[in-house]
Each structure stands twice: as C-alpha cells, then as structure tokens.
Amino acid sequence: MKAFGAVARPTIRNERELLRYVALVTAFALAFALAVDVVNQLAFFVDWERCLRSWSVTTAVCLAIATPIAYSIGHTHLELFRAKELADALGRIDSLTGLSNRRALIEDAESSLAEVLALAIFDLDRFKSVNDAYGHLVGDMALRTVGRMMQEELGALGLVARIGGEEFALLTSRASLENMVERLLAFRDRLRATPILIDDITLRVTVSAGIALRENGDGFDRLYGLADRALYEAKAAGRNQFRFPPSLEPLVSRHATRFEPGSRIATLRSA
C-alpha cells in the first residue's frame, strides 16, 4: 500500500528518488501486464513455448513503454519540486542586497529552539540625507555595500538580514554572548572608519543598533519589540550608538571601542 502511494502521489526531491519512482512505476506496469498475459495464456493454453515467448514480448514492450513514460512523469514532479524550492528561497532573499529578508528572519526566529537567542536591529544614521543629496541609486549602492560589510563582519555569528529601508538585523544563537558583543562593536567601528566610495562620491556612514535577548521562551514579537525599543533609545542618544540589555553591560565595558577616529581607513568600491 505504501509503495502504491509512492506511485500515485510521488514526492520526488532528487535524482535518487526519481530513479526509485521510475523503478516502482515500471515494476507495477510490468506486474500488471504480465498478470494479464499469464491469465490469457493459461486460459487459452497451447504450449509452454508459446507462453514463454508471449511473456518475453510483453516484458520487452512494457519496459520500452513504461520506463520513458515513468521517467517523464517523475522528472516533471522533480522540476516542480525544484521550482517550489527556488520560489521559497527567493521569497527569503532581499533583492537589493542579496541578504536574507524579514520573512526569513521571522521564520528562523520562530523555529529556533535555542535557549539563548539574540536579535540586533540596525538602522543607518540619517540615511535619508544620502538619498536626498545623491539620489536613490547612490543610496541603494551604499546599502549594498553596508550589507556586504555586515555579512563579512557578522555572518559567522548567524543570520544577517535586511528588514526594510535602511534597517538590517542579526539573529544569532550560535555565538557566545561575549563574542557577539565583541563582533558587534567591531562592526560598528569598522563601518564608522570606512569611507564608501561610489564613483566620485565619498560617503561616511554610521549605524545605531538595539540588541535584545530572548528569555523564558518569548515569541518573536516580544523579542523584536525589545530590540526595537533599544534601537529607539540608541537613536535618541545620538549617532553611532548601540544599546545592549543590562545583563550584557559588563561585556560591553570589557570590550572598549577598538578604533579611534582616523586610526583605520579602508575603502570599498560599490559593485
């Protein structure tokens, strides 16, 4: 019954499952064709030589017809599965930066069973002035560059996403809290010290962020709300500010700012 279900309602996700489907369909078709032929030959029995010849012909014809038909049907199911996977993957990607998007962030947060889950929400400081002064094309190129820098600096910690406009996020459960704090502060300082070069335009961009920790199995909405409130406090305090939960303040104090203004100048050209 299980084998019949695999033939009638196949789930084909790879080449191995495609070959298995072809084998099952061909086997069912062959079994049915031979059963009919055996009954026919025995009902009108003449001699065994004629029976064996008929069964051989039935087998050859069935294999020649059933195998390519089964492969064609199975391959269609495989292509549909791949198309669905691709659509799902594209639905989780931000088209501008190539990072994960808000949907991917929410899905990963809601499916995480980690005891400690941290969410950082970043907002580029006064970024509207970049769009107003240089246009949205330059603004988009700057966002791609910032996204690339963020992925390079923070991607090893967890999921880096662009969640809308000039807002980005980091969702992590893999890194220790100390490592997370250290890397976040390093990213803040790298971005501040790195001019973004777009054609003949040089931009200086800073970022503020709010960081929150999930406690007591809180859902994503509460975690996001805490991080968003921390971001609001960071923005209210001025530019280039990060706000951490009180429990992380000792770690923040331990990892003082690494770069003094002007101590490190790196340049990026937007692709």
With bands split at pLDDT 50, 70 and 90, how would you rate the model's confidence at 120? Answer: very high
Are residues 93 and 104 in contact, defined by beta-carbon separation less than 8 angstroms?
A: yes
Higher pLDDT, 144 or 44: 144
The pTM for the full model equals: 0.70
Is the residue at 27 inside a domain? Answer: yes
Is the residue at 97 inside a domain? Answer: no
Alpha-carbon distance of 180 to 261, in angstroms, equals: 23
Given 166, 182, 249, 260, the catalytic residue:
166
Angle between helices 48-90 and 15-43 (to 10 degrees): 150
Alpha-carbon distance of 150 to 152, in angstroms, equals: 5
Regarding whether 182 and 81 lie in a shared domain, the answer is no
pLDDT at residue 163, rounded to an integer: 94
Please report, for the domain that includes residue 160, its CATH number: 3.30.70.270
Model confidence pLDDT, tens digit, residues 20-33: 888 888 888 889 98
Domain that holds residue 84: 2-90
Regarding whether 185 and 81 lie in a shared domain, the answer is no
Regarding whether 109 and 239 lie in a shared domain, the answer is yes
Longest dimension (CA), the chain: 100
Among 90, 120, 150, which residue terminates a domain?
A: 90
Q: Which of 151, 108, 127 is nearest to 206 (CA)?
A: 127
Regarding whether 117 and 69 lie in a shared domain, the answer is no
Is the residue at 95 inside a domain? Answer: no
- Establish whether 166 is a catalytic residue: yes
Among 90, 124, 148, which residue terminates a domain?
A: 90
pLDDT at residue 153, rounded to an integer: 93
Query: Residues 38, 39, 42, CA angle at the centre, nearest 5°?
Result: 80
Model confidence pLDDT, tens digit, residues 169-226: 999 987 788 889 999 999 999 999 999 998 889 999 999 999 999 877 678 899 999 9
